[in-house]
Structure 1
Amino acid sequence: MYFNVSQLLKEMGGAFRTYDVNDFASLVDGAPMTPISGVVKMMRTDAGIWVSAQLTTYVDCECSRCVADMEQFVRMEIEEEYLPEVDVNTGARLNFPDAMAENFYIDQTHMLDMSEAIRQYFGFSMPFKPVCSDECKGLCLTCGADLNDTSCSCDNVIRDPRWGPLLAFALPNEPHYN
């Protein structure tokens, strides 16, 4: 996602632009482009441009409980400062202290590329264990049956192995205490 920010770089601190975006971006290296929409706000700072973006997308993935294919809604809130590599008025190369090496940069043609920030924030925003629904029962740990579609007769009671030999004395209809 590219923005030409040459005019904004020529303005005084506090100047801003707002963009409604409906674009495509690669969220993971080597993955196909994914549609992204939202709002990008840019504000001129003393050193560069502060970007505030609220972006949303849907990605194909598997439910972590039942491994069904699903679409996951992902909301990203990006807050980053982009620093120019060259002065917009003179074209002179700008040097920043090594402490700022972690920042994002505006290239020599004054194009602000949000692709890397989107990839990084997507990694933080994507749920670690996506689920198809809050009511998803998952798979049986013993036979692998999808418990959303069927029930199984497996004994899935977790027993404390320290009671091993004594559990054999329990009556079949009595509850087992763990």
Structure 2
Amino acid sequence: MKINIKDITAEISELIFTVPASYFTFSPDEAIIRKDIQVKAKVEKVGREILIRGSVKTQLELECSRCLTHFLYSVAENFQTIFQPFSASRVSEEEVELAKEDLDIEFYKDDIIDLTNIVRDQILLSIPMIPICETQCQGLCPHCGQNLNQGKCSCSAEAIDPRWRKLQDFAKKKTIMN
């Protein structure tokens, strides 16, 4: 996913990449890419700066946080990044405070722009913090581990943590007295 800026002759160019699903590997806890990654990018030259607006599309396999089943999750993310030539004179030992717009700036060396990290970041940022297979997911029974989406379990619904038993007994006595 490298772009040689010398190959970009027009002020605005459109590029399309198809990246094999095996190109990126994440830990199984994060995601498994199940579909080739489609990257579309509109590249705009402004002097030595390059503005890239693009999109990333793929499909991931995630694990539901409630019921632990695996499900497919579609990714369709847009990105915009400004690339500037890397200059050794910009490197400094001093602390530099960044403005919000500085976070969208990347640097390139030797007239080569590499989109690998941007695409990887877009995929990772699209993963929900708590992936859920469907909004109605009932999860697992906390006592026996039965997937409640596949059917009810035989556990008592009245099961209570033994540490709260005294409080439950107190509440029952109070309702009897009233």
TM value normalised by structure 1: 0.70
- Of 143, 167, 170, which aligns to 1:166? 170
Shift of 1:149: 0.8
Q: CA-atom RMSD, angstroms?
A: 3.4
Asked if the contact 1:42/1:51 (under 8 Å) is kept, the reply is yes
| TM-aligned CA deviation for residue 32 of structure 1 | 8.1
Partner of 1:105: 107
- Partner of 2:137, secondary structure, is coil
Q: Which residue of 2 aligns with 1:4?
A: 4
Q: 3-state DSSP class of the match of 1:136?
A: coil
Matched, 1:115 2:116: yes
One-letter code of the match for 1:6? K
- Give the length in aligned residue pairs: 158
- SS, match of residue 169 in structure 1: helix
Q: Answer whether contact 2:54 2:78 (CA < 8 A) is retained.
A: yes
Paired residue for 2:15?
19
Question: Structure 1 residues 97, 50: CA separation in 2 closer, same or farther (over 3 Å shift)?
Answer: farther
The 5-angstrom pairing of residues 1-178 of structure 1 reads 1-8=1-8, 15-24=11-20, 25-26=23-24, 28=26, 35-85=36-86, 95-96=89-90, 103-108=105-110, 110-152=111-153, 153-155=155-157, 161=164, 163-169=167-173
Cα offset, 1:135, TM superposition? 2.5
Aligned equivalents of 1:29, 1:64: Cα separation in 2: 16
> Could you tell me how far apart the structure 2 residues matched to 1:156 and 1:22 are?
54
SS in 1 for 2:36: strand
For 1:18, what is the secondary structure of its paired residue?
A: strand
Aligned residue identity for 1:17: S
Contact 1:82 1:104 in 2 (8 A): yes
**CA distances 1:88-111 after superposition (whole Å, capped 9, x unpaired):** xxxxx6744755896422231x22
- Structure 1 residue runs of 5 or longer lacking an equivalent are 86-92, 172-178
CA deviation vs aligned residue, 1:28-67 (integer Å, no higher than 9, x gap): 4899876211421111134411111111111222111111
Q: Which runs of 5+ in 2 are unaligned?
A: none
The aligned counterpart of 1:175 is: none
Report % sequence identity.
19
Runs ≥4 residues deviating over 4 A: 29-34, 97-102, 156-159
